[in-house]
Amino acid sequence: MGLINPQAASFLLTGSGDIACLFVHGFTASPSEVYPVAQLVYAQTGFTVSGPLLPGHGCSPQEMNLTCWEDWYDRIDQEIKYLKKRHSRIYVTGLSMGGLLSLHSAKVTNDVDGVIAINTPIYTTSPRLMSLAPLLRYLKPYYPKKLAADQTDLDRQGRFAYDVMPLRALRSMHTLRDRVIKELPELELPILLMQSRWDETVDARSAKFIKEKAHRAQVRLIELENSGHIATMGPDIELIAAKIIEFAI
Q: Are the C-beta atoms of residues 85 and 79 closer than 8 Å to each other?
A: no
CA distances (Å), 33 to each of 54, 132, 165, in order?
A: 13, 27, 17
CA distances (Å), 235 to each of 11, 57, 153, 207, in order?
A: 22, 26, 11, 20
Using one digit for the tens of pLDDT, what is the confidence trace for 129-175? 565 555 555 556 788 887 666 677 898 999 999 999 999 999 999 99
Average pLDDT of the chain is: 93
Q: What is the CATH T-level fold of the domain 6-248, as seen in this structure?
A: Rossmann fold (3.40.50)
Q: Are the C-beta atoms of residues 13 and 39 closer than 8 Å to each other?
A: yes
Our CA angle for 225, 228, 230, nearest 5°, is 125
pLDDT at residue 150, as a whole number: 66
Using one digit for the tens of pLDDT, what is the confidence trace for 201-247? 999 999 999 999 999 999 999 999 999 999 999 999 999 999 999 99
Q: What is the CA radius of gyration of the chain?
A: 17
Domain range annotation of the chain: 6-248
